[in-house]
A and B are shown apart, each in its own frame.
Chain A
């Protein structure tokens, strides 16, 4: 049987903050658990050391809900992929997230896995993470010391490492919704359902007419120790139009910029080639040629 580490069951947010603060002060870490789709695998001990102690978030209603606030889409950390897929607000304002949620696991995973968990787990293959990077999302975290906002671009600091302090909890993901922004998403896995990504890519831009594309953001997963932006490729696309010539140059820039690795799911060569090709195809679709 898997390990059954002790778990705290706070009934409200401040009780959870208390547990985190006490644990952080004592230097005995406690791991928050939401949908459990990653951590319940971790307790088998087959992949890595199981967490020593857990903190259940399932009673914290403060972490639920999806709303529009001051021009941003605000998504509670405990929002599941199924809830994202069914949300009229997300479908209207950030449909790419509905599309991505539908590719994550199957019904069993989508009913349990949460966006906050995807962020906290900080897997380089986390499928929502490139979208959050490309869309300039902000992660709202909180604890007894107060709340703070961390840009998604600054959140992932190393392989499965984040900017979250041990006494903090992820509360919300906030996605700004600038007028006219487009976001596209592609995931490449072994099969269509239930696959961990070999490459996952999100591209955002605003079309400003004759001046071409502005605020171009290109983010990828499964090609580095963290989800990453591709600034050299973004620079090729910034101020440009998605023509065949620009697409060729952008794809080449991306292939040069990425330094993926060989691992159990894919090879470095495959990831580099496919990332460039997927970007090329997105640009072709955007250019309508």
Chain B
């Protein structure tokens, strides 16, 4: 079956089984390996991407349900900023505040945070923690991540 959708602003077309996970389509069929697989069962959030403006786990979305929709991955996060040689404000904040250690959770964490900021989420720690409650990090203890996201809420 053939499915067409937008990935990071560019049209994509894949001829794959409809039940293939969006995660596998992104990584294997489209070569976008920024999106990571952690648990593969919707617990860890490492494969978080933005689908029609909402954060989702790409391991839980069959590609047939993405047909005609809009997907944003970590590769697309800095698309607008790249023209001026910069990263997304969130990526800058993660770097500046040491919000990444091993890095496997980082793409998903960035996408969950981006969806939260784009939806106008507030800057308080409680709301930020709820927004990334579906993204597990085994290194940082979350403090630096919450600080980094909070710093962007103020400037965004």
Listed in ascending order, the chain A residues whose CB lies under 8 Å from chain B are: 1-7, 9, 33, 35-37, 40-41, 43-44, 46, 54, 56, 58, 82, 105-109, 111-112, 192-194
Q: Is the CB of B21 within 8 A of A108?
A: no
Within the complex, what minimum Cβ distance (angstroms) separates A37 from chain B? 6
User: Which residues of chain B are near A7, meaning CB under 8 Å?
Assistant: 17-19, 62, 64
Task: Say yes or no: is B43 at the interface (Cβ < 8 Å to chain A).
Answer: yes
Given contacts A2-B21, A40-B21, A40-B60, contact A109 B134 (CB under 8 A): yes
Q: Is the CB of A44 within 8 A of B42?
A: no
Within the complex, what minimum Cβ distance (angstroms) separates A91 from chain B? 18
Please, how many angstroms separate the alpha-carbon atoms of A43 and B42 in the complex? 13
Within the complex, what minimum Cβ distance (angstroms) separates B46 from chain A? 11
- CB 8 Å contact bits of B120-156 with A (1 = contact, 0 = none): 0000000000111111000000000000000000000
| A56 interface neighbour in B51, B54, B62, Cβ under 8 Å | B62
User: Which residues of chain A are near B1, meaning CB under 8 Å?
Assistant: 9
Q: Is the CB of A109 within 8 A of B42?
A: yes
Given contacts A4-B17, A193-B133, contact A33 B62 (CB under 8 A): yes
Q: Is the CB of B18 within 8 A of A44?
A: no
Q: Is the CB of B62 within 8 A of A36?
A: yes
Q: Is the CB of B65 within 8 A of A40?
A: no
Please, how many angstroms separate the alpha-carbon atoms of A105 and B133 in the complex? 8
Within the complex, what minimum Cβ distance (angstroms) separates B24 from chain A? 6
Please, how many angstroms separate the alpha-carbon atoms of A9 and B130 in the complex? 34
Q: Is the CB of B130 within 8 A of A58?
A: no
Task: Say yes or no: is B48 at the interface (Cβ < 8 Å to chain A).
Answer: yes
| B133 interface neighbour in A5, A58, A82, A106, Cβ under 8 Å | A106
Interface size on B (CB < 8 Å)?
Answer: 33
User: Which residues of chain A are near B41, meaning CB under 8 Å?
Assistant: 41, 44, 46
30 CB contacts below 8 A, A to B, read A6-B17, A6-B19, A9-B64, A33-B62, A35-B60, A36-B62, A40-B59, A41-B60, A44-B40, A56-B18, A56-B62, A56-B65, A82-B54, A105-B42, A106-B130, A106-B132, A106-B135, A107-B55, A107-B131, A108-B42, A108-B56, A108-B134, A109-B60, A111-B51, A111-B55, A112-B61, A192-B133, A193-B134, A194-B43, A194-B134
Given contacts A36-B65, A56-B65, A194-B43, contact A43 B19 (CB under 8 A): yes
B17 to chain A: closest residue by CB: A4
User: Which residues of chain B are near A1, meaning CB under 8 Å?
Assistant: 24
Q: Is the CB of A193 within 8 A of B60?
A: no
User: Which residues of chain A are near B43, meaning CB under 8 Å?
Assistant: 194
User: Which residues of chain B are near A106, meaning CB under 8 Å?
Assistant: 45, 130, 132-135
Given contacts A1-B24, A111-B55, contact A40 B42 (CB under 8 A): yes
Within the complex, what minimum Cβ distance (angstroms) separates B49 from chain A? 10
| B42 interface neighbour in A6, A41, A58, A192, Cβ under 8 Å | A41
A192 to chain B: closest residue by CB: B133
Please, how many angstroms separate the alpha-carbon atoms of A37 and B133 in the complex? 16
Q: Which 9 A-B pairs have the closest CB atoms?
A: A106-B134, A193-B133, A4-B17, A106-B133, A7-B18, A111-B54, A40-B60, A58-B65, A108-B134
Q: Is the CB of B19 within 8 A of A5?
A: yes
Q: Is the CB of A58 within 8 A of B64?
A: yes
Q: Is the CB of A2 within 8 A of B18?
A: no
